[in-house]
Amino acid sequence: MIYDTLDSLARYTHLFGMTKPVYETIHPKPFDGMFIAHSHYATIFLVKEGEILVCSTHAQQPSTFVRDINGFVHLESSGITSTARVDSDHFIFFSPYEPYALIAEKQADVARLLVEVR
């Protein structure tokens, strides 16, 4: 996981390429105990308006995951190990198979970018 300011995003371009973000409105909902990860791509969250809480947990062996048709894997919580608040001044990056859960306490405009790690 990388958590940093948007001003620092250019420092990481040697790790991954960026695509133009497409934002969607996320509405509040309680944490359901499930985490998600992508099996091939890293995931970057950007927030245009509002803020989100992003939680992570211990990664598990990828061989234990079952991928859905889009390459995502889902796993039940083994406990939250870290959290970060992401707003319009910050971004967060998760490597492939690194589990995360997204929680919006209020409505927020969020982009989830799937990027190839170089």
pLDDT digits (tens, 9 = 90+) for 46-95: 999 999 999 998 876 665 677 788 889 888 777 888 999 999 999 999 99
Distance of CA 114 to the CA centre of its chain: 9
In degrees and rounded to multiples of 5, residue 11 shows phi and psi of -65, -20
Please give the radius of gyration of the chain, using alpha carbons only, rounded to the nearest integer. 14
Helix, strand or coil, per DSSP, at residue 18: coil
CATH code where residue 70 lies: 2.60.120.10
**Domain hosting residue 95, numbered range:** 2-115
Strand partners, 38: 72
- Quick one: DSSP state of residue 13? T
pLDDT digits (tens, 9 = 90+) for 52-62: 999 998 876 66
Number of domains in the chain: 1
- Quick one: DSSP state of residue 67? B
Q: What is the mean pLDDT of residues 4-25?
A: 92
